[in-house]
């Protein structure tokens, strides 16, 4: 009888630990709006801190000579929004097609990004020497 009780208590402890890990992992999930969702909600989120994810429009990327101001456009395939980011540009931005930006959407229609998070490629391939 004592052996069954120890087994039952051990099983409950393991189940609680697994449940806690599953529950805590949901809290760390990062949610972001698409560009379309941002523009649909623009009247209610002016000045609020939000995250927006999408594809970088490669032809729109302009980095000012100081290197600390980056301007580009983000698209979800339907609509595009201009983004201005001031800060250190991550190295992976140059090779990234997808990006998540965190900041505020202004009434002028420009997203002022405080944080720039390029998504990493799922598969890295060596660069061919020229």
Read off the CATH number of the domain in which 50 is found: 2.40.50.140
Report if residue 129 sits inside a domain. Answer: no
Residue 27: pLDDT over 90: no
Report if residue 124 sits inside a domain. Answer: no
Report if residue 11 sits inside a domain. Answer: yes
Residue 71 CB neighbour total at 10 angstroms: 15
Residue 41 CB neighbour total at 10 angstroms: 14
The verdict on 14 and 64 lying in the same domain is: no
Residue 126: pLDDT over 90: no
Which of 113, 106, 37 is closest to 72 using CA atoms?
113
Take residue 82 and report the two structure tokens written for it. 């201009």
The verdict on 71 and 11 lying in the same domain is: no
The verdict on 75 and 103 lying in the same domain is: yes
Residue 73 pLDDT: 93
**Tally of domains in the chain:** 2
Residue 66: pLDDT over 80: no
Confidence (pTM): 0.68
Which residue range(s) make up the domain with 75?
A: 35-118
Over the chain, what is the mean pLDDT?
Answer: 84
Report if residue 127 sits inside a domain. Answer: no
Take residue 34 and report the two structure tokens written for it. 């698409």
């Amino acid at each position: 009888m004592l052996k069954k009780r120890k087994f039952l208590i051990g099983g409950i402890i393991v189940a609680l630990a697994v449940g806690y890990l599953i529950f805590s992992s949901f809290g760390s999930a990062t949610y972001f709006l698409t560009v379309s969702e941002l523009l649909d909600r623009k009247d209610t989120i002016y000045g609020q801190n939000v995250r927006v994810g999408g594809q970088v429009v490669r032809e729109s990327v302009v980095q000012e000579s100081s290197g600390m101001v980056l301007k580009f456009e983000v698209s979800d395939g339907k609509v595009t929004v201009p983004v201005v980011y001031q800060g250190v540009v991550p190295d992976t931005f140059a090779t990234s097609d997808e990006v998540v930006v965190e900041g505020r959407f202004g009434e002028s229609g420009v997203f002022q990004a405080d944080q720039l998070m390029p998504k990493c490629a799922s598969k890295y391939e060596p660069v061919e020497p020229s």
